Amino acid sequence: MVMARREIAAEEFLAGVPLFKALDAATLARLAAATTRRALARGRTLFRKGDPATGMYVVVYGEITLIASTPARGRRLAGIVGPGQSLGEPVMFLERPALVDAQAASDALLLHLPKQAVFDEIERNPKFARRMMAGLSQRIESLVRELDRLALGSGRERLIAYLLRHGRGASGPYAVRLPVAKAELASQLNLTAEHFSRVLHELAQAGLLSVQGRQITVRARARLEAAMHRR
Concatenating the DSSP letter of every residue in 73-105 gives TEEEEEEEE-TT-EE-HHHHHHT---SSEEEES
- At a CB cut-off of 8 Å and minimum separation 6, what does 228 contact? 156, 157, 160, 161, 164
Dist CA 65 CA 79 (whole Å)? 6
Concatenating the DSSP letter of every residue in 149-214 gives HHTSS-HHHHHHHHHHHTTTT--S-EEEE-SS-HHHHHHHTT--HHHHHHHHHHHHHTTSEEEETT
- At a CB cut-off of 8 Å and minimum separation 6, what does 177 contact? 214, 215
Cα-based distances in Å from 134 to 76, 99, 127, 161, 229: 28, 22, 11, 26, 35
pLDDT digits (tens, 9 = 90+) for 87-97: 999 899 999 99
- Position 110 scores a pLDDT of 95
CATH level 3 topology of 155-226? Arc Repressor Mutant, subunit A (1.10.10)
Given a cut of 50, is residue 48 above it in pLDDT?
Answer: yes
Cβ–Cβ < 8 Å for 67, 56? no
SS3 136: helix
Neighbours of 18 (CB within 10 A): 13
The larger pLDDT score, comparing residue 168 to residue 98, is at 98
Crossing angle of helices 115-124 and 126-150, in 10° steps, is 120
Which of 185-189, 205-209, 215-219 is predicted with the least confidence, judged by mean pLDDT?
185-189
CA 65 and chain centroid, separation: 7
- Position 40 scores a pLDDT of 96
Assigned superfamily of 10-150: Jelly Rolls (2.60.120.10)
pLDDT digits (tens, 9 = 90+) for 73-114: 677 788 889 998 999 998 999 999 999 999 998 899 999 999
Domain boundary assignment for the chain:
10-150, 155-226
